[in-house]
Homo-oligomer: A and B are copies of this chain.
Amino acid sequence: MNTDLIALQAQLRDFMNTKVIPRESEFVGHFGLEKIETVRSELQAEGRKSGLWLPHLPKELGGLGLPWVDAYKLFIEAGRSMLGPQAINIAAPDEGNMHLLHVVANEAQKERWLMPLVRGEIRSCFSMTEPPPGAGSDPSMLQASAVKENGVWKLEAKKWFISGAWGAAVTLILAKTIEGATIFLIPMNHPKIHLKRVIPTLDHFSPGGHCELDFDGLELTDDDVLGEPGKGFDYAQIRLDPARLTHCMRWLGVAMRSLEYAEGYALSRSSFGKKLSDQQMVQQMIADSHIEIFASQTMIEHACGMLDRGERVRHQASMTKVFVSEAVNKIIDRSLQIMGSTGISEDYPVSSFYKEARPFRIYDGANEVHRMSIARRAFRRAAERHT
């Protein structure tokens, strides 16, 4: 591991411990979206001058220009707090949106939306999921539609579980057009976007919540189209390939921090005449958690190497997403179990992580859907072998 990276990691660990994690105590009990927004903005003020801002983006966008095989270690480190990715501007969904805009947007769009995003001045969301009978696990069920007449697109859409929508400045939205699926870029203050509600959910730390939105006959121009009409699903995939992996990195940080609390607890408590850390049932839970973290890291590392070489990682990202999302939930669950009643309390963030991490097995493609895709690719290859 090169020495620059080691220094960056140490610097980020220090930043997390001194700037980010101390703010968590403000989030015990009931808190609202405004609170997250305030703290996010204060942390970003620190993050911007930290030398850790946007580690994976090119220097011309204000990032550190690290390759993924290095950057992923910083993503994991920042992931140790729900607030960490906010602080250095690598949180979902902005991080994926920035990537997509960087690759596909035209200069005007970059100037208008990408640059404020990389500077952390605005937030964005990605409007894809729809209430039934629309697109959920199966994107082909897309109902949102935009019809072009006389050079004007007219967009009708109902979307829900749109993460970050409350308070976002811009949304990317996927809709059916005659050319296929198309992505539009729309300012969220458009008068015909109605934020119907922030859906109350199990998790509470997503800036801007998970929202239900109506797009009620918006009139859009070609300038609002991202890339080319009809390429919406391709672009969504361009976004998802790294975005699925960065989710894994951030959540792995959460799992590792939970495990650290459990280890500290087990070292300090005794029952039945010896320390919990000397009891095999605890050791087993600790060992299984370390094994899963090691497997998660090496899967991510391998996929990052592929990303850096410009290879497609769709299959590897699917496999990693399924494994890591389940590992993270198990590791948090074991950590909580080791800590007993203390784990259930909000005296440590583990009980909060228990709620926050659960949706990860559903968002970004339910694990069942990923398993279908993984198997289909495997069977395609097997069929080729047999012919």
Q: Which of A263, A295, A319, A386 has the most CB of B within 10 A?
A: A295
Does A138 sit within 8 A of B, measured CB to CB?
yes
Interface size on A, residues (CB 8 A): 86
Flag if A260 contacts B382 (CB, 8 Å): yes
User: A260-B385, A298-B295, A358-B344 given as contacts; is B368 within 8 A of A281 (CB)?
Assistant: yes
Q: How far is the CB of A322 from chain B (nearest CB, A)?
A: 6
Does A244 sit within 8 A of B, measured CB to CB?
no
Q: In the complex this chain forms, how many copies of it are found?
A: 4
In the complex formed, the residue of B with least CB distance to A381 is B263
Q: How far is the CB of A111 from chain B (nearest CB, A)?
A: 34
User: A291-B322, A295-B298, A370-B287 given as contacts; is B344 within 8 A of A271 (CB)?
Assistant: no
Q: In whole angstroms, what is the CA distance A322 to B138 when docked? A: 31
Q: Give the residues in chain B near A371, CB-CB below 8 Å.
A: 281, 283-284, 287-288
Flag if B322 contacts A337 (CB, 8 Å): no
Flag if A263 contacts B382 (CB, 8 Å): yes
Q: Quick one: which of A277-334 are within 8 Å of B by CB?
A: 277, 279-284, 286-288, 290-291, 294-295, 297-299, 301-302, 316, 319-320, 322-323
Q: In whole angstroms, what is the CA distance A284 to B379 when docked? A: 12
Q: In whole angstroms, what is the CA distance A288 to B137 when docked? A: 19
Q: How far is the CB of A359 from chain B (nearest CB, A)?
A: 5
Flag if A136 contacts B355 (CB, 8 Å): no
Flag if A287 contacts B336 (CB, 8 Å): no
Does A129 sit within 8 A of B, measured CB to CB?
yes
Flag if A337 contacts B355 (CB, 8 Å): no
Chain A, residues 365-384, CB within 8 Å of chain B (1/0): the string is 01111111011101100110
